[in-house]
Protein backbone atom coordinates (compact mmCIF):
# COMPACT_ATOMS: atom_id res chain seq x y z
CA UNK A 1 0.00 0.00 0.00
CA UNK A 2 1.02 3.62 -0.43
CA UNK A 3 2.02 4.40 3.15
CA UNK A 4 3.42 7.90 3.07
CA UNK A 5 3.83 10.83 0.67
CA UNK A 6 6.12 13.63 1.84
CA UNK A 7 7.22 16.90 0.27
CA UNK A 8 10.48 18.77 0.81
CA UNK A 9 11.43 22.25 -0.31
CA UNK A 10 14.83 22.38 -2.02
CA UNK A 11 16.69 24.97 -4.13
CA UNK A 12 15.54 22.98 -7.17
CA UNK A 13 11.86 22.98 -6.23
CA UNK A 14 9.57 20.82 -4.14
CA UNK A 15 10.71 17.19 -4.06
CA UNK A 16 8.24 14.40 -3.31
CA UNK A 17 8.96 11.01 -1.77
CA UNK A 18 6.51 8.10 -1.84
CA UNK A 19 6.91 5.10 0.48
CA UNK A 20 5.21 1.84 -0.52
CA UNK A 21 4.85 -1.21 1.76
CA UNK A 22 3.82 -4.64 0.55
CA UNK A 23 1.91 -7.32 2.47
CA UNK A 24 5.10 -8.73 4.04
CA UNK A 25 6.20 -5.34 5.40
CA UNK A 26 9.04 -4.87 2.91
CA UNK A 27 9.16 -1.38 1.46
CA UNK A 28 10.48 0.89 -1.25
CA UNK A 29 10.78 4.66 -1.18
CA UNK A 30 10.71 6.52 -4.49
CA UNK A 31 11.71 10.13 -5.06
CA UNK A 32 10.66 12.65 -7.71
CA UNK A 33 14.26 13.91 -8.05
CA UNK A 34 15.40 11.89 -11.04
CA UNK A 35 12.38 9.58 -10.64
CA UNK A 36 14.64 7.51 -8.42
CA UNK A 37 14.72 4.72 -5.87
CA UNK A 38 15.79 6.21 -2.55
CA UNK A 39 15.53 3.10 -0.37
CA UNK A 40 14.45 -0.52 -0.54
CA UNK A 41 14.07 -2.51 2.68
CA UNK A 42 13.86 -6.31 2.53
CA UNK A 43 14.50 -9.17 4.99
CA UNK A 44 17.62 -11.32 5.27
CA UNK A 45 17.55 -15.07 5.91
CA UNK A 46 16.73 -14.38 9.58
CA UNK A 47 13.87 -12.02 8.76
CA UNK A 48 15.82 -8.90 9.70
CA UNK A 49 15.04 -5.90 7.51
CA UNK A 50 17.76 -3.73 5.97
CA UNK A 51 17.94 -1.00 3.36
CA UNK A 52 19.89 -2.40 0.38
CA UNK A 53 19.92 0.67 -1.91
CA UNK A 54 22.40 3.53 -1.60
CA UNK A 55 20.62 6.81 -0.91
CA UNK A 56 21.11 10.20 0.69
CA UNK A 57 19.92 11.75 3.94
CA UNK A 58 19.26 15.15 2.36
CA UNK A 59 16.86 15.03 -0.59
CA UNK A 60 18.50 18.18 -2.02
CA UNK A 61 21.66 16.11 -2.57
CA UNK A 62 19.92 14.19 -5.32
CA UNK A 63 20.51 17.13 -7.67
CA UNK A 64 23.99 17.21 -9.16
CA UNK A 65 25.39 14.16 -7.39
CA UNK A 66 28.12 12.38 -9.33
CA UNK A 67 26.82 8.83 -8.77
CA UNK A 68 23.26 9.58 -10.05
CA UNK A 69 22.17 7.37 -7.16
CA UNK A 70 18.97 5.42 -7.78
CA UNK A 71 17.83 7.73 -10.56
CA UNK A 72 16.87 7.54 -14.25
CA UNK A 73 19.57 9.04 -16.50
CA UNK A 74 18.55 10.45 -19.86
CA UNK A 75 17.87 11.45 -22.50
CA UNK A 76 20.75 9.09 -23.29
CA UNK A 77 22.16 7.04 -20.41
CA UNK A 78 25.87 6.22 -20.48
CA UNK A 79 28.38 7.75 -22.91
CA UNK A 80 28.18 9.44 -26.30
CA UNK A 81 31.60 9.94 -27.85
CA UNK A 82 32.81 13.52 -28.01
CA UNK A 83 29.29 14.70 -27.20
CA UNK A 84 28.29 14.54 -30.85
CA UNK A 85 26.02 12.44 -33.05
CA UNK A 86 24.37 12.79 -36.45
CA UNK A 87 20.72 11.94 -37.06
CA UNK A 88 19.01 12.28 -40.45
CA UNK A 89 21.93 14.34 -41.73
CA UNK A 90 21.91 16.85 -38.86
CA UNK A 91 24.79 17.00 -36.37
CA UNK A 92 23.87 17.52 -32.72
CA UNK A 93 26.16 18.67 -29.91
CA UNK A 94 25.73 17.75 -26.25
CA UNK A 95 27.35 18.99 -23.04
CA UNK A 96 30.79 17.49 -22.36
CA UNK A 97 31.00 16.23 -18.79
CA UNK A 98 33.03 13.01 -18.80
CA UNK A 99 36.54 13.56 -20.11
CA UNK A 100 36.02 14.40 -23.79
CA UNK A 101 32.59 12.75 -23.84
CA UNK A 102 28.99 13.15 -22.72
CA UNK A 103 27.79 10.85 -19.95
CA UNK A 104 24.11 10.55 -18.99
CA UNK A 105 23.41 13.50 -21.34
CA UNK A 106 25.39 16.02 -19.30
CA UNK A 107 24.94 17.75 -15.95
CA UNK A 108 21.27 18.59 -16.60
CA UNK A 109 20.14 15.15 -17.74
CA UNK A 110 16.90 13.52 -16.60
CA UNK A 111 18.57 12.30 -13.39
CA UNK A 112 19.02 15.92 -12.30
CA UNK A 113 15.45 16.99 -13.10
CA UNK A 114 12.55 17.01 -10.70
CA UNK A 115 9.91 14.78 -12.27
CA UNK A 116 6.16 15.18 -11.66
CA UNK A 117 4.42 12.65 -9.44
CA UNK A 118 1.59 11.79 -11.81
CA UNK A 119 -0.30 9.12 -9.90
CA UNK A 120 -0.20 6.58 -7.07
CA UNK A 121 -2.43 3.50 -6.85
CA UNK A 122 -2.26 -0.18 -5.86
CA UNK A 123 1.44 -0.19 -4.93
CA UNK A 124 2.16 1.65 -8.19
CA UNK A 125 3.84 5.06 -8.56
CA UNK A 126 4.08 6.98 -11.85
CA UNK A 127 6.49 9.84 -12.49
CA UNK A 128 6.43 11.93 -15.68
CA UNK A 129 8.79 14.38 -17.32
CA UNK A 130 8.65 16.41 -20.54
CA UNK A 131 11.99 17.22 -22.12
CA UNK A 132 11.88 20.25 -24.42
CA UNK A 133 13.18 20.24 -27.98
CA UNK A 134 16.86 21.14 -27.74
CA UNK A 135 17.24 20.28 -24.04
CA UNK A 136 20.84 19.16 -23.49
CA UNK A 137 21.25 19.41 -27.26
CA UNK A 138 18.80 16.64 -28.19
CA UNK A 139 16.12 17.10 -30.87
CA UNK A 140 12.40 16.70 -30.25
CA UNK A 141 10.00 17.32 -27.39
CA UNK A 142 10.01 14.05 -25.51
CA UNK A 143 7.40 12.95 -22.96
CA UNK A 144 8.61 10.23 -20.58
CA UNK A 145 6.85 8.16 -17.92
CA UNK A 146 8.41 5.90 -15.33
CA UNK A 147 6.01 3.45 -13.69
CA UNK A 148 7.22 1.62 -10.59
CA UNK A 149 5.31 -1.26 -8.99
CA UNK A 150 6.25 -2.95 -5.69
CA UNK A 151 4.80 -6.45 -5.48
CA UNK A 152 3.99 -8.60 -2.47
CA UNK A 153 6.79 -11.00 -3.45
CA UNK A 154 9.42 -8.23 -3.31
CA UNK A 155 9.73 -7.45 -7.02
CA UNK A 156 10.25 -3.82 -7.97
CA UNK A 157 9.25 -3.43 -11.61
CA UNK A 158 10.02 -0.37 -13.69
CA UNK A 159 8.32 0.40 -17.00
CA UNK A 160 9.85 3.21 -19.05
CA UNK A 161 7.75 4.78 -21.80
CA UNK A 162 8.36 7.73 -24.11
CA UNK A 163 7.01 9.45 -27.23
CA UNK A 164 8.53 12.25 -29.29
CA UNK A 165 7.38 14.84 -31.84
CA UNK A 166 10.68 14.74 -33.76
CA UNK A 167 13.24 12.02 -34.45
CA UNK A 168 15.60 11.69 -31.50
CA UNK A 169 17.83 9.19 -29.71
CA UNK A 170 16.92 7.62 -26.41
CA UNK A 171 18.44 5.25 -23.87
CA UNK A 172 16.87 4.97 -20.41
CA UNK A 173 17.78 2.87 -17.39
CA UNK A 174 17.75 2.91 -13.60
CA UNK A 175 20.97 3.72 -11.74
CA UNK A 176 20.32 2.19 -8.30
CA UNK A 177 23.37 1.06 -6.32
CA UNK A 178 22.99 -2.19 -4.40
CA UNK A 179 24.58 -3.59 -1.27
CA UNK A 180 22.61 -6.64 -0.23
CA UNK A 181 24.21 -6.70 3.20
CA UNK A 182 22.56 -3.39 4.01
CA UNK A 183 25.86 -1.47 4.06
CA UNK A 184 27.05 -3.41 7.11
CA UNK A 185 30.40 -3.85 5.36
CA UNK A 186 32.54 -1.26 3.63
CA UNK A 187 32.33 -2.74 0.15
CA UNK A 188 30.38 -4.93 -2.20
CA UNK A 189 33.48 -6.78 -3.44
CA UNK A 190 32.54 -10.04 -1.65
CA UNK A 191 29.13 -10.18 -3.33
CA UNK A 192 28.75 -12.94 -5.92
CA UNK A 193 27.78 -11.72 -9.40
CA UNK A 194 26.50 -13.82 -12.28
CA UNK A 195 25.98 -12.40 -15.78
CA UNK A 196 24.48 -14.52 -18.59
CA UNK A 197 26.70 -12.67 -21.05
CA UNK A 198 29.39 -14.28 -23.18
CA UNK A 199 30.41 -10.97 -24.80
CA UNK A 200 31.22 -7.48 -23.61
CA UNK A 201 31.98 -4.13 -25.25
CA UNK A 202 35.67 -3.22 -25.04
CA UNK A 203 36.29 0.52 -24.81
CA UNK A 204 38.92 3.14 -25.39
CA UNK A 205 40.63 4.66 -22.32
CA UNK A 206 37.72 7.13 -22.01
CA UNK A 207 35.25 4.22 -21.66
CA UNK A 208 33.61 4.68 -25.08
CA UNK A 209 33.00 1.37 -26.93
CA UNK A 210 35.37 0.64 -29.79
CA UNK A 211 32.60 -1.05 -31.77
CA UNK A 212 33.86 -4.58 -31.13
CA UNK A 213 32.03 -7.27 -29.16
CA UNK A 214 34.67 -9.40 -27.46
CA UNK A 215 34.31 -12.80 -25.82
CA UNK A 216 34.64 -12.82 -22.05
CA UNK A 217 36.33 -16.25 -22.07
CA UNK A 218 39.65 -16.32 -20.21
CA UNK A 219 39.35 -12.66 -19.17
CA UNK A 220 38.41 -10.91 -15.91
CA UNK A 221 35.17 -9.93 -17.67
CA UNK A 222 33.82 -13.48 -17.41
CA UNK A 223 30.91 -13.72 -14.96
CA UNK A 224 29.17 -16.58 -16.76
CA UNK A 225 30.01 -18.59 -13.64
CA UNK A 226 29.20 -16.60 -10.51
CA UNK A 227 32.25 -15.13 -8.81
CA UNK A 228 33.05 -12.50 -6.23
CA UNK A 229 33.02 -9.00 -7.72
CA UNK A 230 36.41 -8.30 -6.21
CA UNK A 231 38.16 -11.46 -7.35
CA UNK A 232 39.62 -9.96 -10.52
CA UNK A 233 38.88 -6.27 -10.06
CA UNK A 234 42.57 -5.38 -9.67
CA UNK A 235 43.68 -7.46 -12.67
CA UNK A 236 46.10 -5.99 -15.20
CA UNK A 237 43.45 -5.75 -17.92
CA UNK A 238 42.56 -2.69 -20.02
CA UNK A 239 38.87 -2.49 -19.11
CA UNK A 240 39.67 -2.56 -15.38
CA UNK A 241 42.59 -0.17 -15.60
CA UNK A 242 40.58 2.39 -17.57
CA UNK A 243 37.79 2.57 -15.01
CA UNK A 244 39.58 1.66 -11.73
CA UNK A 245 37.25 -1.31 -11.60
CA UNK A 246 34.25 -2.53 -13.57
CA UNK A 247 32.43 0.14 -15.57
CA UNK A 248 31.55 -1.88 -18.61
CA UNK A 249 28.68 -3.06 -20.77
CA UNK A 250 27.87 -6.72 -21.34
CA UNK A 251 25.63 -8.10 -24.12
CA UNK A 252 22.91 -10.27 -22.58
CA UNK A 253 22.90 -13.65 -24.32
CA UNK A 254 19.77 -14.10 -26.46
CA UNK A 255 18.38 -10.68 -25.60
CA UNK A 256 18.19 -9.42 -29.18
CA UNK A 257 14.61 -10.74 -29.40
CA UNK A 258 13.14 -7.91 -27.28
CA UNK A 259 11.70 -10.33 -24.71
CA UNK A 260 12.36 -10.40 -20.98
CA UNK A 261 15.62 -12.09 -20.01
CA UNK A 262 17.60 -12.39 -16.81
CA UNK A 263 20.40 -9.84 -17.03
CA UNK A 264 22.21 -10.39 -13.73
CA UNK A 265 22.07 -12.12 -10.38
CA UNK A 266 23.74 -10.70 -7.27
CA UNK A 267 24.10 -12.60 -3.98
CA UNK A 268 25.39 -11.81 -0.51
CA UNK A 269 26.41 -14.93 1.43
CA UNK A 270 26.29 -13.23 4.83
CA UNK A 271 22.68 -12.00 4.67
CA UNK A 272 21.44 -14.58 2.18
CA UNK A 273 19.83 -11.86 0.08
CA UNK A 274 19.74 -12.28 -3.69
CA UNK A 275 18.88 -9.75 -6.38
CA UNK A 276 17.78 -11.02 -9.79
CA UNK A 277 17.55 -8.38 -12.50
CA UNK A 278 15.49 -9.05 -15.64
CA UNK A 279 14.89 -6.84 -18.67
CA UNK A 280 13.88 -6.58 -22.32
CA UNK A 281 16.91 -4.34 -22.95
CA UNK A 282 19.83 -5.81 -24.93
CA UNK A 283 22.68 -5.07 -22.53
CA UNK A 284 23.66 -4.42 -18.94
CA UNK A 285 26.24 -1.96 -17.63
CA UNK A 286 27.89 -2.99 -14.36
CA UNK A 287 29.56 -0.20 -12.39
CA UNK A 288 31.25 -1.16 -9.15
CA UNK A 289 31.08 2.29 -7.56
CA UNK A 290 34.71 3.01 -8.40
CA UNK A 291 34.39 6.72 -7.56
CA UNK A 292 31.85 6.81 -4.72
CA UNK A 293 34.22 8.39 -2.21
CA UNK A 294 33.07 11.91 -1.43
CA UNK A 295 29.43 11.43 -2.47
CA UNK A 296 26.70 12.77 -0.13
CA UNK A 297 26.06 11.20 3.26
CA UNK A 298 23.73 8.24 3.44
CA UNK A 299 20.22 8.03 4.89
CA UNK A 300 21.50 6.23 7.96
CA UNK A 301 24.68 8.26 8.47
CA UNK A 302 26.81 6.14 6.14
CA UNK A 303 29.98 7.56 4.62
CA UNK A 304 30.36 5.82 1.27
CA UNK A 305 33.75 4.84 -0.09
CA UNK A 306 34.75 3.44 -3.46
CA UNK A 307 33.20 0.00 -4.14
CA UNK A 308 30.57 0.49 -1.43
CA UNK A 309 27.82 -0.66 -3.81
CA UNK A 310 27.27 -1.86 -7.37
CA UNK A 311 25.00 -0.44 -10.08
CA UNK A 312 23.39 -2.87 -12.53
CA UNK A 313 22.03 -0.77 -15.38
CA UNK A 314 19.93 -2.48 -18.08
CA UNK A 315 20.13 -0.43 -21.26
CA UNK A 316 21.02 -0.12 -24.94
CA UNK A 317 24.69 -0.05 -25.92
CA UNK A 318 26.69 3.07 -25.01
CA UNK A 319 27.41 5.38 -27.98
CA UNK A 320 24.88 3.56 -30.19
CA UNK A 321 23.97 6.83 -32.02
CA UNK A 322 27.51 6.83 -33.43
CA UNK A 323 27.85 3.10 -34.08
CA UNK A 324 25.56 1.81 -36.86
CA UNK A 325 26.34 -1.83 -36.00
CA UNK A 326 24.86 -1.40 -32.53
CA UNK A 327 21.09 -1.72 -31.86
CA UNK A 328 19.31 1.43 -33.00
CA UNK A 329 18.60 4.08 -30.36
CA UNK A 330 16.42 6.19 -32.66
CA UNK A 331 12.83 7.03 -31.68
CA UNK A 332 10.59 8.64 -34.29
CA UNK A 333 7.19 10.37 -34.14
CA UNK A 334 4.37 7.84 -34.08
CA UNK A 335 6.55 5.24 -32.32
CA UNK A 336 6.47 4.44 -28.61
CA UNK A 337 9.53 3.61 -26.58
CA UNK A 338 8.73 0.91 -24.00
CA UNK A 339 11.36 -0.81 -21.87
CA UNK A 340 11.05 -2.88 -18.69
CA UNK A 341 13.37 -3.71 -15.80
CA UNK A 342 12.47 -6.03 -12.89
CA UNK A 343 14.44 -6.13 -9.64
CA UNK A 344 13.48 -9.29 -7.74
CA UNK A 345 14.71 -9.57 -4.15
CA UNK A 346 14.85 -12.97 -2.50
CA UNK A 347 16.73 -15.28 -0.12
CA UNK A 348 19.15 -18.03 -1.11
d(CA 88, CA 279): 29
Q: Quick check: 2 pLDDT over 80?
A: no
175 is catalytic: yes
What order of strands is seen across the sheet that includes strand 27-31?
2-10, 13-21, 27-31, 36-43, 49-51
Q: Is the dihedral of CA 325, 73, 35, 150 positive or negative?
A: positive
264 three-class SS? strand
**Residue 34 pLDDT:** 98
Chain centroid to CA 26: 21
Over range 315-333, report the average pLDDT: 98
Over range 54-74, report the average pLDDT: 97
Domain map (residue ranges) of the chain: 2-347
Q: Quick check: 141 pLDDT over 90?
A: yes
pLDDT band at 46, cuts 50/70/90? very high
- The tens digit of pLDDT for each residue in 154-213 reads 999 999 999 999 999 999 999 999 999 998 888 999 999 999 999 999 999 999 999 999
Choose the catalytic residue: 175, 179, 191, 267. 175
pLDDT band at 288, cuts 50/70/90? very high
pLDDT band at 78, cuts 50/70/90? very high
Third-level CATH fold of 2-347: Beta-galactosidase; Chain A, domain 5 (2.70.98)
104 is catalytic: no
**Residue 190 pLDDT:** 98
Amino acid sequence: MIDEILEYDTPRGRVTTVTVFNASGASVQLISAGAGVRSLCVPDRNGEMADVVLGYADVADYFGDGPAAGKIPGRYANRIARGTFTLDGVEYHLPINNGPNTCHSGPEGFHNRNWTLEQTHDNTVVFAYTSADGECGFPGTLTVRATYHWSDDNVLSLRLEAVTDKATVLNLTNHAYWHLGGFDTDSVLDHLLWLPASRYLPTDPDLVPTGALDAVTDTPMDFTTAKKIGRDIKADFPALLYGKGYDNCWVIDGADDGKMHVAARLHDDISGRTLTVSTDQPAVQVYTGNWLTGCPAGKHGEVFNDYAAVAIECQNYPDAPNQPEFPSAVLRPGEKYVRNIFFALGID
